[in-house]
Every structure is written in structure tokens, then in C-alpha cells.
Structure 1
Amino acid sequence: MSLTVEPPILPAGNPDREVNCEVALEAAFASLVTTSVSQGWTPRETAATLLKLATDHALQLGTEEGKLPEG
């Protein structure tokens, strides 16, 4: 499983930084999904759980900062 995530190549505030982050996380994300499915979880279970974890994480970040996350 590849957990390598490249560092940002764009400075904070750059409008393309989110896309840069998406590209940096893509391989590790795909590897996590593949590993989950190979261990017996269905693609739907995997997707639903990853979405829940990401949503919970975003909400926690918003709570810590006293606001809801953007997006």
C-alpha cells in the first residue's frame, strides 16, 4: 500500500492549491480503497465509510475553528 503523499508545490492562497492537494493524495487514497476491498469490504461500504470519516473530520475542523468548513 502506497502511503506516500507529495508536499504542496503551490503556496498557500493559490487558487489551484486544492487541486494540487487532490493530486498529491490520489495514489494513497486509491491504495487505501484497493486494500479495503481486498480485505473483504465492498466498494460501496468503503466509499460510504471514507465519506463519513472525511465529513466527520471536516466538521471537527470547523468546530475547532468555531465555524463550519468551506465547501
Structure 2
Amino acid sequence: MSFRPIFAQILARQTGIGLDIIDRCQNHVLPGSKVRGHYMHHDYADEKRAAWKKLGQRPSAILSPDLGP
């Protein structure tokens, strides 16, 4: 199984990462107006970085439950 479905369906939802950020982390093409896509150039780098960092902390919390999330 690919890591992408695991990330989207299990780990990300358990960490509270929003679905729009999950889609952006996976480089999905988001639905919506082409005009809006043309004028909105925010790359969500900070949001994606925070999501990946949060996800990276998850295995530590699973492997060491006494440390907490």
C-alpha cells in the first residue's frame, strides 16, 4: 500500500490536519474556479511544513506513549 492513502485517511485526520492541507501536501489539484486559481498564488508552504512536522511527531507518540503527543 502507498503511504499517501495512509497519510490522508488515518494519520492526518488523527492529528487534526485540515483536509485542504492534506490535499495540498499530496499535490492534489483542488476543485474550484480557474479564475481563483489564476490569481491566488499563496503556496501554503508554512501550512504544509507544519502538517509534515506534526505528522513526523506522530510515530514518536505511538512508539513512546508515555511522552504524549
Which of structures 1 and 2 has the larger relative contact order (alpha carbons within 8 angstroms, sep 6+)?
2
Report the structure, 1 or 2, having the larger helix content: 2
* TM-score bucket of the superposed structures, by smaller chain: 0.3 to 0.5
TM-score if structure 2 supplies the norm length?
0.37
